[in-house]
Amino acid sequence: MSAAQTAVVTGGGAGLGEAIARRLHEHGYGVAIADVDGYAADAVAGQLDGSGHTAKGYGVDVRARAALEDLLSRVLTDFGGVHVLVNNAARTRATPLLEITTDELDDVLAVNVGGTFQACQIFGAHFAEQGYGRIVNMASLAGQNGGTATGGHYASSKGAILSATKVFARELAPRGVTVNAVSPGPQDSPMVRSIVGEENLESFASTIPVGQLGDPAFVGDTVALLASPAAASVTGACWDVNGGLYLR
């Protein structure tokens, strides 16, 4: 592998995860793109590097601990090392709060919280052993303000990710590993467009203080900054990219 460092991006086969994977690759990282849709992950990797030297796709269901352990093993074999983990994989549902079923709640929490927590454990242990690592968890404005366009289970899961970020940051800091979160507000992404509806985008954007949806590529740049070796003094933090919808 020709890149200096390797980054794993879960949920990297589409949407915001794809944008993050693309920006990390542009910043010089080798990128392991993990997604429950392995074909989508392969397609993105092929677009980034058809030779497979600096980008490779992996079919992974983050709900399964064994699948995450296998992902780490395969990335180490394919790239020779791993230095960055971006926990982006998520289930997004906009079901009305009082209509959320037990099965739907369990599914959203299993992916968003369980997948992120287990990946932090597995990759965090590896990073701690090697004395260096960067973990960036994708939280959300919804986890800070209770959500607006998204479901209560999604908002709750993202709030849990913010807490988990602090827990892992405290645990891993003495061993050269930083753990941070990024909380995007509404982005100009397929997910947001599908939830809001194309016909409602203009009026929806008018409710954002800056008057426009966010740029997923900028979120990717934010992740790359937190993932960089120079970001050693930033851990346990949450960087907001929400257009002024939540101020603190």
Residue 248 lies in a domain: no
* pLDDT of the residue at 94: 87
Angstrom CA distances, 182 to 48, 69, 102, 148, stand at: 24, 24, 28, 18
Give the count of domains, the chain. 1
Q: Please name the residue that has the structure tokens 């399964």.
A: 64
E-assigned strands of the chain? 6-10, 30-35, 55-59, 84-87, 133-138, 177-184, 238-241
Residue 99 lies in a domain: yes
* pLDDT band for position 147 (cuts 50, 70, 90): confident
* pLDDT of the residue at 99: 96
Residue 169 lies in a domain: yes
Tell me the per-residue pLDDT of 35-64, one tens digit each, with 9 for 90 and over. Answer: 999 999 999 999 999 999 999 999 999 999
Range of the domain at 89: 6-241
Residue 217 lies in a domain: yes
* pLDDT of the residue at 3: 56
Its pTM stands at 0.95
Tell me the per-residue pLDDT of 200-236, one tens digit each, with 9 for 90 and over. Answer: 999 999 999 999 999 999 999 999 999 999 999 999 9
Residue 189: count of CB within 10 angstroms of its CB:
21
Tell me the per-residue pLDDT of 88-120, one tens digit each, with 9 for 90 and over. Answer: 999 988 899 999 999 999 999 999 999 999 999
For residue 192, the domain's CATH number is 3.40.50.720
Active site residues: 154
